[in-house]
Structure 1
């Protein structure tokens, strides 16, 4: 519960104990970089690039590879190689407009990131975008089940010491929205690329 001595966070006329953010597409614009690397992977592995790129956003690399790889592929090894390629590709990583000022106004203990990216990749992208690495982050290796499973958002709320029902989640992808809603949080859709039905708001960016 939010302490009586700690003002709640407000958004859209509602009070929240904490804000939880997805990373890619929500705080950081990495779409061109990610789609180039995943497109190359699809071509090398004989996967349907269009179908893969439509499904990859908001989902752990290991889960995407498991879905699209050829039979007999070493899923874990492929995920490591792809993550290394993404860590090396920081040119073109940008902050979503307005996010710097938005998170700068939040107490560090009142927000967290829940990302499908491995921690090393997340930290590299935060640095490339000029954003602070969050004090509380749940990354791909911190959960047994990735989005759309709610595990990551439930874990982030627990780490912050708040009830998930008192959290507002900022998301941009169907898998992440489904995860946040299954956890019991309110959701704001960022970027306007997906349906916001059932969410409390939709914003283009943080300006």
Structure 2
């Protein structure tokens, strides 16, 4: 096994959901495609902008003339109804089950109802600390969610390792001062990043030290 981050031990691990713990890309893009078509938005370039951000922030960016909160609520209802193809990233369930429950959290741009629905569909557990779209005034790429999660875990964000997949989430984690590991399972192309990467969780192992901190190892290829 290879020690990642120079063998550094972290106070806690914090995870994004979509694209990081599970994939809901097909379902999400079906719902957003229908919304874009209804509002005369060119679908292909638009879909590249939706991942990792709160729905209301996405709506505001492309159609500031609309009621973003109402539109986001309608989109969320569609996403809750459509869970076809929502599956865990390989090894995610086993990896989460290996972690002390007080040492990990989830930060997602999704509303709580959608987050819970997708985690259940993928067979993944809820975290004791779950930060959703309703919990922060500013979503990713702002750091608010990660800062709040670290606070509720009882440690500084700079002592946490964030697992992310999307540009907005990576930027949010960086701004919070956290270390980042990029999960690339859902990336169709190689991602240029200065951060450590892993395809999925099958090669990853968490090691808890005597003080309860978590180090991360990766199987050597």
Q: What is the TM-score when the length of structure 2 is the normalising length? A: 0.85
More RCO (CA 8 Å, sep 6+): 2
Q: Determine the C-alpha separation between the residues in 2 that align with 1:32 and 1:171.
A: 18
Q: Determine the C-alpha separation between the residues in 2 that align with 1:98 and 1:57.
A: 22
Alignment of 1:119-198 (within 5 A): 119-191=112-184, 193=187, 195-198=191-194
Match of 1:97 in 2: 90
> Are residue 204 (structure 1) and residue 199 (structure 2) matched?
yes
- Select 1:47's aligned residue among 41, 45, 57: 41
Q: Determine the C-alpha separation between the residues in 2 that align with 1:94 and 1:167.
A: 26
Q: Determine the C-alpha separation between the residues in 2 that align with 1:158 and 1:169.
A: 14
Report the alpha carbon displacement of residue 14 of structure 1 after superposing the two structures with TM: 1.9
Q: CA RMSD in A?
A: 1.4
Match of 2:10 in 1: 16
Secondary structure, aligned partner of 1:19: strand
Match of 2:27 in 1: 33
The 8 Å contact of residues 172 and 189 in structure 1, kept in 2 or not, is answered as: yes
Q: Determine the C-alpha separation between the residues in 2 that align with 1:95 and 1:174.
A: 20
Match of 1:76 in 2: 69
Q: C-alpha deviations, 1:2-34, integer Å up to 9, x for none?
A: xxxxxxxx8552210100000000001101111
Match of 1:6 in 2: none
Secondary structure, aligned partner of 1:16: coil
Q: Determine the C-alpha separation between the residues in 2 that align with 1:190 and 1:130.
A: 19
Secondary structure, aligned partner of 1:15: coil
Aligned residues: 196
Report the alpha carbon displacement of residue 51 of structure 1 after superposing the two structures with TM: 2.1
Q: What is the TM-score when the length of structure 1 is the normalising length? A: 0.91
**For structure 1, which segment, 92-101 or 186-195, has the greater mean C-alpha deviation from structure 2 after superposition?**
186-195
The 8 Å contact of residues 171 and 190 in structure 1, kept in 2 or not, is answered as: yes
Secondary structure, aligned partner of 1:55: coil
Q: Determine the C-alpha separation between the residues in 1 that align with 2:102 and 2:4.
A: 17
The 8 Å contact of residues 59 and 175 in structure 1, kept in 2 or not, is answered as: yes
Q: Determine the C-alpha separation between the residues in 1 that align with 2:143 and 2:8.
A: 22
Q: Which runs of 5+ in 1 are unaligned?
A: 1-9
Report the alpha carbon displacement of residue 72 of structure 1 after superposing the two structures with TM: 3.2
Report the alpha carbon displacement of residue 84 of structure 1 after superposing the two structures with TM: 0.4
Report the alpha carbon displacement of residue 196 of structure 1 after superposing the two structures with TM: 4.9
Q: Determine the C-alpha separation between the residues in 2 that align with 1:124 and 1:16.
A: 29
Q: Determine the C-alpha separation between the residues in 1 that align with 2:4 and 2:91.
A: 15
